A and B are shown apart, each in its own frame.
Chain A
Amino acid sequence: MSEKKEKQAVNEFNQVMKPVSLWADAWKRLRKNKMALISLYIVSFYIIVTLFAPLLTKAGIIYDYREQTISNASLPPSFKPAGQLVIKKLEARIADLERTLEEQKAEEAANGPSGSYGFDFGAVPGTETETADQSAEVDPNLNFSLDFGGHGTDTESSSNPLVRELGYQKEALEKVKTEMNTNPGYQKVYVLGTDDLGRDMLARVIYGGRISILIGIVGTLTAALVGILIGSVSGYVGGWLDNLLMRFVDIMYGLPYMLIVIIIMAMIGEKARGSFVILFVAIALVSWLTIARVVRGQIISLKNSEFVEAARSMGASTPRIIFRHLLPNTLGVIVVFSTLLMPSFIMNESFLSYLGLGVSAPNASWGTLVSEGVRAMEFFTWQLLAPAVAMTLFLFCMNFLGDGLRDALDPQSKNRT
């Protein structure tokens, strides 16, 4: 056999033995799982972007999510500057109006003058069209007439609201065209479109993610801590305490706890509802159950191991045994279930926000954004799809990552592929 370096351990056959720690082993296994690895990258990307969002805004890479540019309201996603999109929108509206007017005219020609031009407060049905000059005056007894009169428009009458609107739109179109290169608002590029108040969807989604992910992380940590505490004490001490706690867990498991959370959140009142803390507590209250059970299970199976006996025989106290000996060995399970808890937490939070019981304005989490998007989904689909896809992708990757971690840390586990 060839010579081996001194430092490496060698077995009786002169084969090199590589020492492998649990984590290194797990990392190796995780790396092999391509989907989990991709998920890890995606999740990290999300976390980094949302974490540094304020910096990115300051640096001008993303727009400020609070900034409302009404003239840019409800623009579809595009790489073109906003001005062009506004123009397109106006042009589409104008064409639409013109077409409707054509149809009206045709109908009139066929059936005689129709009586209604829509809501018209002052005009008498069948009134002749006014001349351009007369329409220059604004008659306060009529409804608002935004007829600028005489600028080469086709508007003949201020009694037909469609015609008036046509005029207005054409005016607006001209205005935009002239301001295209001077107004900075029109030069913005909204990659994910805008909402109905002209706020950049990309920025809103990123900041929404910031809130959702933040809630997810903090909430998961809280729930995990509670779960670990209760689970480890229950498992180690055993006896009536264990029985009591586990009965409690069983009862809570059977309940439709989200319904109870809904009640709690609704009862609390708007002022308190805005507080994140209450939100954490409410959701965490029901999320610690699985972790408690899992930790308890691990502790029970480990507490009679020899290393625990050894520690006890050397006089270690109970808390010491729990924290320094048992828990590090349960770290694997804790990590796995925490990773799987986070998407669940975020789901619960966005569920509440969707119903209006979670994060309140001006803060918006992904749930809030989806809720707003649903209202607009028929015409402005991207307002729904942007937050929906962003959130789903994140949750998907977290779940995959959690699965991957579970396989990596415990290859004997049931869910192994």
Chain B
Amino acid sequence: MTDEVILQVRDLKTYFTVDEGVVKAVDGVSFDLHKGETLGIVGESGSGKSVTNLSIINMIPNPPGKIVGGQVLFSGKDLLKISASELRQIRGNKISMIFQDPMTSLNPFLKISTQMIETIVLHQGLDKQAAKEKAIDMLKLAGIPAPEKRIDQYPHQFSGGMRQRVMIAMGLSCNPEILIADEPTSALDVTIQAQILELMQELTKRLGTAVILITHSLGVVAGMCDTLCVMYAGRIVERGKTDDIFEDPKHPYTQGLIRSVPRLDKENADRLYSIPGQPPNVIDLPDCCPFYPRCEKAKDICRKKYPPVTGFENGRAVSCWLYAEETK
């Protein structure tokens, strides 16, 4: 990981308009991504992690969603403002995205070769034959045995883990600067999960690709990510280096998350800890800290106003009234 920043997300806001009101799925998210860095975004379902990712490459379905504010700066351009054709040149090419469920993410009616070749031909200008060879190379890198034969097969002829390997191969085939992985292992068996994560780590380190990894599992994050963003109700509540956060979680939510992880090194079989309460229904959320109903350390001001960001050294930041100055 270097110090060169390749992606800057500033105050990203994506809202969804539904019958009952406005869902502020992403409400002011900001972070930086450095070259070669693996950034993890952690949060519960509904926290806004996936929407953040889709917003980065501007793939929010227009009714009912809309990116209402913020900037996504990449290669000197704001991805939210450029034209559709420029955007298409970046997707799959400079910024690649792979999704959660490999069963449904691959087109069941097209051969793997077709699906991989089209990206390479489109973005790298190779002819079909050359593209096919490149695709076979990628499959080999991804650990698929006999790739020359298997490339002409259909997705249903692969197992779940294999399919995800194909997705990864496809995602990295144009050597992107950033790979966004949206819960890539959640739909897989635990044993396969580890393999896939290892594969991702190895390939991205080799190719120098930065990764944004979305997950709800702290275990995954601990193993793979250099930096970490914790999201809750559409906002980032804590940010920093993974090791720092694990050692000293500052936000009560983060603390709760880490406490909930069952640990082998704890002797007594205590009751497993879980954060009391439910994630909020984010329709028409009032101006407050959304975590306050579940927070042990909530203060009066938490109910009234959203806490500002408090910065610490080493890239650490927290949004919590415990650390912020209450200005009246």
Contacts and interface: CB of A to CB of B under 8 A. Distances in A.
Interface of A: 1, 11-15
A12 B286 CA distance: 11
Q: What DSSP secondary structure best describes chain B's contact surface? A: loop
Contacts of B277: 12
B286 A15 contact: yes
Nearest to A20: B20
B27 to A, nearest CB: 14
Interface string B274-312: 000100110011101000010000000000000000000
The 5 closest A-B pairs by CB, nearest first: A12-B293, A13-B286, A11-B281, A13-B285, A13-B280
B280 A1 contact: no
Contact of A1 (B281, B284, B286, B293): B286
Contacts of A1: 286
Interface string B28-49: 0000000000000000000000
A14 B277 CA distance: 15
Contacts of B288: 13
Interface of B: 277, 280-281, 284-286, 288, 293
A11 B281 CA distance: 9
Contacts of B286: 1, 13-15
B283 to A, nearest CB: 8
A15 B280 CA distance: 11
Contacts of B284: 15
Contacts of A15: 281, 284, 286
Contacts of B293: 12-13
Contacts of B280: 11-13
Given A11-B281, A12-B293, A15-B281, 12 more contacts: A1-B286, A11-B280, A12-B277, A12-B280, A13-B280, A13-B285, A13-B286, A13-B288, A13-B293, A14-B286, A15-B284, A15-B286
Contacts of A13: 280, 285-286, 288, 293
B276 to A, nearest CB: 11
B19 to A, nearest CB: 8
B144 to A, nearest CB: 34
Nearest to A14: B286
15 contacts: A1-B286, A11-B280, A11-B281, A12-B277, A12-B280, A12-B293, A13-B280, A13-B285, A13-B286, A13-B288, A13-B293, A14-B286, A15-B281, A15-B284, A15-B286
Nearest to A28: B19
